[in-house]
Structures are given as C-alpha cells and as structure tokens.
Amino acid sequence: MKLPDAREIGPLDLAVRLEAGDPIRVLDVRAPQRLAAGRVDPVPAERFHNIRGSEFVRLADPAAAIGLDPADPVAVVCGHGNDSRVIAALLEGRGYDAWSLRGGVTAWMRMVIPRELTPPRGFDRLVQFDRIGKGALGYLLVAGAEALAIDPPRDWAPWPEAAAASGARIVGVADTHVHADYISGAPSLARDQGVPYYLHPADNVWPYDETPGRLKFEPLSDGAELAIGGRSVVAHHTPGHTEGSTTFIAGDSQSAGVAFTGDFLFVDSIGRPDLAGKMEAWTGDLWRSLVRARDEWHPRVRLLPAHYAGEGERNADRTVDRAFGQARQTNATLGIETEDEFRGWVESHVSTPPEAYPHIKAINVGLAEVTPQQADILEAGKNECAVG
C-alpha cells in the first residue's frame, strides 16, 4: 500500500526545535504501553499527546477530544514513521501544520546531538554527543590534527564528521567499559578508521559466567597514556560498575582537567554494581574507586559521564558536566564516609536490572550478533545504569 504524502521532519531537526522552545506539540500514535520503550523528549506534559492511531482517525474534533490545538505545529510519532505519515496527512487535511517524524521513535532513539564543551588546557576541541533518547553521552577530544573517540554508539558517523570539521583524524577509539544498555560502535569505528580500539582487558569477558570475550583491542592498564596531538590522556582504572571500568583524564587531575568517567561516576549518582550478579564484590571495588577519586582529583576537574538520568543534570546550555568539587556537594555518594554506609546506600537504592542487559553485554564482547532491527529492540528505552 502506498503511504500518503505528508511532510516529514528528521529527528535532529525536531530535537533542535524542541530544545529551542518552539511551541511544537508531539502526537504519539502508538499504544500507551509502548511509551516505556522510548518516547520523544523533552516535551512539556501539556504538549505531549498519546492516543492509538486507530482511535485518533475516529475523532471528529481532535482539539476538543485531546486538546490538540490547531494553532500549534504538531509532530506525529509512531514506531518507524509509517503510521505517523497517515495521521500527519489527515491533520494537514484538517488545517493543521503537521509533520511525520521520519523513522519514528526508532530513529529518535538512535539520534545524537553534538554539543561543544570547553576543552581542557592544551586541547583544541571537545564535543559531547548527546543521545537523548537513551540519556547516553559520547565524546570526541581533539588536539592538533588528532582526535580520540570515546564511547561511540553503533551509529558513529557524527564522530569522524566532527573530527574532519576540526581538521583532525581519529587516531584512537576507546570504551570506558563494556556497556550493558547499548551496543558499542567503538570496535566498528576503530576498524573503519584503521586505528586502535582501547579497552581494559578485565572487561573482555561476559561477566555472568566468565566466558572470555572475542574482542580485538589494545589493552589498557592503570596509568596508561594515550597520545593525541602531542598531548596525553591518562587511563585510571576505576572498577565497580564493571571490572574493567576506566576513567580517562585529559589535562591535569590536580587542576582543571576533565575526567571521562563512563558509568563509574555520574553527575548525581554512581554506576550500579549489580549487573553481573556480583554486587557484594563489585560494591567494594566501587567504594575503593570512589575513595581514590576523592583523594586524587582536584575540585576543578570536570566530570564527563557516559549517561545522565534526567533533565536536572543538564547545564543551561543543555550540556552535561559538573566540576568535581560541585558534585561533592550534590551527589550523595560523594559525601558517604564509610564503606559500610556506602554498601547500605547502594543496597537501598538499586533496582531490578533490565532483561536485555546480559544480551547486550554478550554482543559487546563479541559473543553474539544481532540484526539492526534486533538491536533497536534491545536498546529501546532510557538507560538504567545508575544506582537510584
């Protein structure tokens, strides 16, 4: 069946308009239970509407029935961008300024927005890639004509594009850890660029039963230095969320550097230690990593995590970072004084992990393969990598 003609809007264009405060309404025509697997954000509650498409087409007056004001533009959303074209065409016929979201929520979940951050001293550019559908963050750090990619997802095209725009080439790709909530694009990006893929060897394993992984990578050790444009990025082993969890510090940890903390430490929380059924041991590792950070990192070091939990962790310009000294005033985990107290806090705040996480881990250590469609299903929904 030929789909009706309807105007479309791309995920990035829609995200930029929403973040700019454009008065766009979002009409999600999926079944309400599908919202848990991902939805378009950030949208004020009064501008978000959810009704099945089959029910919507029977409405005589959408404005009266669900408050869909015809004075406002509306983006229609479905799973893959097909049903939304039908509804958008219907709305246009009724005088609405309507678009269909190209690719639907599936495309929204994969989309990233690049945001500029102030680079640490000695570096030339720092880009934070915000995958807002998942609340996931990746980075590109540039010095001179060279760049390091950190925590890229499977749709990694924006990373080499940003490097090229800076007159640089990617010389290394690193994962802070083997991710559980999304499929890493780091090995693929490294192969495409013909450069090393860096990972701590303790993470080249499926941790649920210790099956060795099949990744090809350059092993990281604590204190290892990655050279970029004549500058160094230093690996700090910070286990607890995973056994190989690594923080990369660019600039001076004793002054105004940046710490790419992965899922070790977030702006307002800490990485959960329970994803492999080793909570007792990994909580102890996490505590020791936390103590080390408090002992060694200067208050001006900026935390750059791999995830965020909500809009409250953003800065005014929508970037996500926090000076370590400021985080020590607001992040509850950084104020805990004893290991026993820390263990009690973690145990009282941890939740049931998503069922997809062991499967994603297996993919990320090279023990399983999936189609892009299967990957979309596995990655659906916000990350649940923090305690709390």
Structure-block tokens of residue 113: 């927005």
Q: Are 229 and 250 in contact (CB under 8 A)?
A: no
Instruction: Give CA–CA dist 147/95, Å, rounded.
Output: 49
Structure-block tokens of residue 125: 């550019």
Q: Domain segments of the chain: what residues? A: 8-108, 112-379
Q: How far does CA 290 lie from the centroid of its chain?
A: 22
Q: Are 319 and 306 in contact (CB under 8 A)?
A: no
112-379 CATH choice from 3.40.50.970, 3.60.15.10, 3.40.50.300, 1.10.1060.10:
3.60.15.10
Predicted pLDDT at 36: 87
3-state secondary structure of 226: strand
Q: Are 261 and 217 in contact (CB under 8 A)?
A: no
Beta-bridge partner residues of 236: 247
> Which is nearest to 111 in space by CA: 142, 89, 135?
135
Cα 20–Cα 152–Cα 112 angle in degrees, nearest 5: 20
Instruction: Give CA–CA dist 82/4, Å, rounded.
Output: 9
Instruction: Give CA–CA dist 55/43, Å, rounded.
Output: 22
- The single residue listed with the structure tokens 């007056």 is 61
Looking at the domain 8-108, which fold is it?
A: Oxidized Rhodanese; domain 1 (3.40.250)
In tens digits, the chain (388 residues) has pLDDT values of 455 678 999 999 999 999 999 999 999 999 999 998 899 988 999 999 999 999 999 999 999 999 999 999 999 999 999 999 999 999 999 999 999 999 999 999 999 999 999 999 999 999 999 999 999 999 999 999 999 999 999 999 999 999 999 999 999 999 999 999 999 999 999 999 999 999 999 999 999 999 999 999 999 999 999 999 999 999 999 999 999 999 999 997 667 799 999 999 999 999 999 999 999 999 999 999 999 999 999 999 999 999 998 889 999 999 999 999 999 999 999 999 999 999 999 999 999 999 999 999 999 999 999 999 999 999 999 999 999 8
Beta-bridge partner residues of 116: 127
CA 17 vs CA 12, 20, 29, 326: distances in Å: 9, 5, 20, 31
Predicted pLDDT at 68: 95
Predicted pLDDT at 77: 98
Structure-block tokens of residue 99: 């678009």
Predicted pLDDT at 253: 62
**What does residue 136 show for φ and ψ, rounded to 5 degrees?**
-115, 150
Instruction: Give CA–CA dist 279/162, Å, rounded.
Output: 39
pTM score of the predicted model: 0.95
Q: Which residues contact 189 (CB under 8 A, 6 or more apart)?
A: 149, 152, 156, 159, 160, 170, 173
**What does residue 298 show for φ and ψ, rounded to 5 degrees?**
-70, 150
Q: Is the Cα dihedral 71, 73, 76, 82 positive or negative?
A: positive
Predicted pLDDT at 254: 65
Residue 371 burial (CB count, 10 A): 8
Predicted pLDDT at 256: 76
> Which is nearest to 287 in space by CA: 244, 336, 233?
336
Instruction: Give CA–CA dist 376/88, Å, rounded.
Output: 24
Quick check: bond before 42 cis, omega within 30?
yes
Structure-block tokens of residue 80: 């893959």
Residue 6 burial (CB count, 10 A): 20
Predicted pLDDT at 4: 67
Structure-block tokens of residue 108: 């929204």
Instruction: Give CA–CA dist 175/153, Å, rounded.
Output: 10
Instruction: Give CA–CA dist 342/328, Å, rounded.
Output: 15
